[in-house]
Amino acid sequence: MKILIVEDEPKTGDYLKQGLSEAGFSVELARDGIDGLHFGLTESYDLAILDVMLPGVDGWGILAGIRRAGKDMPVLFLTARDRVEDRVKGLELGADDYLVKPFAFSELLARVRSLMRRGTKANMDQFLRSADLELDLMRRRVTRAGKRIDLTVKEFALLELLLRRKGEVLPRSLIASQVWDMNFDSDTNVIEVAMRRLRVKLDDNFEPKLIRTVRGMGYVLENNDCV
């Protein structure tokens, strides 16, 4: 999976490149708008991450250029300014997503993955599994090692999200918006509490532990035995 990053801020660019490379993507980094547009037009990418303010050609210009050239890869904008007009302009030009700086890297990674998944078929299986955990979407039932685990509606939704994005670190904000439709950060540690309760039910009496807290980033469900 190839990603084009156009970012003029040196540190941001380096960290984005490193982070995404380590997450398993093949990353090309352009330091200004002119290089960015050139790469965008000549190479083929699965995703482009564009800064809005760039020397040479700005993010809008690059987006317009690659869309004119008929390339329809998803485009994610990074912007330091959170202005409604900017969003509207980006959407009109065909941007797919938006992140306002400062953002959490885990949030970016989650967005990148979901943008790349877009278009590929959603997993329509009846069962989602990890190790001996099994979630039955049809019957809304969860079992671990064959034992039935009772979950509330929201806990079920939370577990479903973690299983669907197995191995990805999910930031709290993403969990809040996907599970509870809350698009703001709460002053209260709602996600921590919900996660703790889910782990009590899921992991306390079982091995291996599936849900892991990544401090400062979020939560991930993974089967460490396989890693």
Binding site for other proteins (CB under 8 A): 82, 84, 100, 102-104, 152, 154, 176, 180-190, 193-194, 197, 215-217
Single-letter code of the amino acid located at 196: R
Convert the chain into a string of H (helix), E (strand) and C (coil): CEEEEECCCHHHHHHHHHHHHHCCCEEEEECCHHHHHHHHHHCCCCEEEEECCCCCCCHHHHHHHHHHCCCCCCEEEEECCCCHHHHHHHHHHCCCEEEECCCCHHHHHHHHHHHHHCCCCCCCCCEEEECCEEEECCCCEEEECCEEECCCHHHHHHHHHHHHCCCCCECHHHHHHHHCCCCCCCCCCHHHHHHHHHHHHHHCCCCCCCEEEECCCEEEECCCCCC
Q: Least CB distance from residue 101 to other proteins, whole Å?
A: 9
Cα–Cα dist 69/33, whole Å: 16
Q: 35 or 51, CB closer to other proteins?
A: 51
- Sign of the torsion angle spanned by Cα atoms 37, 38, 39, 44: positive
Q: 18 or 186, CB closer to other proteins?
A: 186
Q: 57 or 175, CB closer to other proteins?
A: 175
Q: Least CB distance from residue 187 to other proteins, whole Å?
A: 3
Q: Least CB distance from residue 172 to other proteins, whole Å?
A: 9
Q: 155 or 222, CB closer to other proteins?
A: 155
Q: 23 or 100, CB closer to other proteins?
A: 100
Q: Least CB distance from residue 200 to other proteins, whole Å?
A: 11
Q: Least CB distance from residue 161 to other proteins, whole Å?
A: 15
Q: 18 or 189, CB closer to other proteins?
A: 189
Q: Least CB distance from residue 88 to other proteins, whole Å?
A: 11
